Structure 1
Amino acid sequence: MVRCLIVDDEEPARELIKLHLSGLEDFGVVASLGNALDAFVFLQKNPVDLVFLDIQMPKVSGLELARSLQSSPKIILTTAYREYAADAFEMEIFDYLVKPITQERFMKAMAKFMHYWNGKAEIKETNIDNDNPYMFFKVGREQVKILLKDIIYIEGLADYIKVHTMDKSYIASEKLGYMEQTLPSNSFVRIHKSFIIALDKITSFNTDQVMLNDKPLPLGRLFKVVFFKIIQAKTKG
């Protein structure tokens, strides 16, 4: 069951999302809330897989809520304003629905989410070798098995990623945000909107970049605090 949270300051909008979801067997609404502050508190205490989030709300906007979450569920923005699409792309928001939301557009978003959800389940099932953990990546028409220990870094390319390994690179059909949530956090860290790196492949770093063997990668401003905390924890450990 996909646990859904609806956040919108307009009750009719929340009810419409509920109506759209009512015909889907695999989706359940765990809460329907009227503001971002209540949603933030709810998310600290309850597991949620998918959030339908309005942007324009009193006090705290939907985008502010999304940015505040350290480890967030997938977010589908529901808004009457098209001008936030660029911000949503930067934040790797899962989908962007413009009000009034039609049943056809809603179902397209759900089909996209189920593709992601089913792929996530497959990875969990196949990554069972504790000595040599791996993942399958869709490369062209094939599913390619890649050992996690062989990955140096992963580069985001819009709707694709480029997985750089010790031997070669693969372009796979996946998004970087999904990889950030799926890869083990004790082995991989995101250092930039376009890069996730393997911690054991770091040879040096400074406040602006991280060196992986002979490859320098930029250290993004928004990712520095988390990166340095992880490095500090690793050093103490």
Structure 2
Amino acid sequence: MPHKINTIILDDEPSAIENLESMLSFYDYINVVQTSSSFNHLWHYLQSHADQVDLLFLDILLHNENGLDIAKMINANYPNIKIIFSTSEASYALDAYETSPIDYITKPINAVRLQKALTKIRQTDKHHILKSNDVKIGIKNKNMIEMINIDSIKSIKKELRHVKLLLTDDSKITTTETINALFLKLKPYGFVMVTRSIIIPIHDITAIDYNSSTQRYSIRLRSKLQLQPISQAKIKDIKSDLAAFDWII
């Protein structure tokens, strides 16, 4: 990214665009180059200016359009553009994080919360943080190291003395590394240790249920992996890990 972060805003509420643009004007490193209330208009702009755009503020509930679908299209066609969701609906956070946004902030936008989101984009620029689909991890397997894409990891499970990785193609890799060592490697890329023997990617979580009779929590996953009920002490650790990715639970 250049020193100035070239920014576009897509929102179907003119007042929301005006408010956000006003708030962004206090940051001299943010350069708003385009605002739009229509994705068609924005898409036409990107076809000739995408290489000059660094950041998109994107609403989710647009008139006749879905911001999540738009984010997927942006990621597929213009992966250099980072996304910050700005929406009045907090309930879409789980689905939104599948698109690997820089952040997810709710309206009305709080100045402190906005500053935190902008700090993230600057840190991403400064440290050249890779998205997980660009990253491979070396897995020790006997006398070799096998390189696999982080995005291909479905879960990691300790079974007796062995640690096994289940991949998205349902293949398995057994490693000689400890599950704690793998967690430290993968935590920055959005993985959580939900029990002492299981690691999962946070984008796989769809819900966390509380059973008042047993006073334990159950985590539901898109992958349908069945997890044992989780204690209140352990759920605090999980919430702490999720908070690092701005999940508010």
> What is the TM-score when the length of structure 1 is the normalising length?
0.54
When residues 114 and 172 of structure 1 are mapped into structure 2, their CA distance, relative to the original with a 3 A threshold, is: farther
Question: How far did residue 27 of structure 1 move?
Answer: 1.1
Q: Distance in 2 between matches of 1:15 and 1:26?
A: 18
Question: How far did residue 44 of structure 1 move?
Answer: 2.1
Q: Distance in 2 between matches of 1:151 and 1:101?
A: 45
Q: 1:154 aligns with which of 149, 154, 179?
A: 149
State the match for 1:212 in structure 2: none
Q: Distance in 2 between matches of 1:94 and 1:60?
A: 21
Say whether the 8 Å CA contact 1:37–1:60 is kept in structure 2: no
State the match for 1:204 in structure 2: none
**1:88-107 mapped onto 2 (5 Å cutoff):** 88-107=96-115
Q: Which has the larger radius of gyration?
A: 2
Q: Distance in 2 between matches of 1:151 and 1:115?
A: 30
Say whether the 8 Å CA contact 1:52–1:76 is kept in structure 2: yes
Q: Residue 128 of structure 2: SS of its match in structure 1?
A: helix
State the match for 1:112 in structure 2: 120
Question: How far did residue 59 of structure 1 move?
Answer: 2.4
State the match for 2:65 in structure 1: 60
- Specify every segment of 5 or more residues in structure 1 that has no aligned partner in the other structure, as ranges: 124-134, 138-149, 158-166, 177-192, 195-219, 221-237
Q: 1:25 aligns with which of 18, 28, 31?
A: 28
State the match for 2:55 in structure 1: 50
Say whether the 8 Å CA contact 1:50–1:74 is kept in structure 2: yes
Question: How far did residue 8 of structure 1 move?
Answer: 0.6
> What is the TM-score when the length of structure 2 is the normalising length?
0.51
Q: Residue 171 of structure 1: SS of its match in structure 2?
A: helix
Say whether the 8 Å CA contact 1:40–1:65 is kept in structure 2: no
- Specify every segment of 5 or more residues in structure 2 that has no aligned partner in the other structure, as ranges: 138-144, 154-175, 191-202, 205-222, 224-249
- CA RMSD, 1 decimal: 3.2
Question: How far did residue 19 of structure 1 move?
Answer: 1.4
Structure 2 residue 41 is matched with structure 1 residue 38: yes
Q: Distance in 2 between matches of 1:81 and 1:21?
A: 21
- Matched residues, percent identical? 28
Report Cα offsets for 1:22-42 as digits up to 9, x if no partner. Answer: 111211001011112212222
Say whether the 8 Å CA contact 1:4–1:27 is kept in structure 2: yes
Q: Residue 66 of structure 1: SS of its match in structure 2?
A: helix
When residues 27 and 151 of structure 1 are mapped into structure 2, their CA distance, relative to the original with a 3 A threshold, is: farther
Question: How far did residue 173 of structure 1 move?
Answer: 6.3
Report Cα offsets for 1:142-171 as digits up to 9, x if no partner. Answer: xxxxxxxx88223258xxxxxxxxx98771
Q: Distance in 1 between matches of 2:41 and 2:187?
A: 35
State the match for 2:11 in structure 1: 8
Q: Distance in 2 between matches of 1:175 and 1:45?
A: 32
Aligned residues: 148
Q: Residue 96 of structure 1: SS of its match in structure 2?
A: strand
Say whether the 8 Å CA contact 1:3–1:49 is kept in structure 2: yes
Question: How far did residue 117 of structure 1 move?
Answer: 1.1
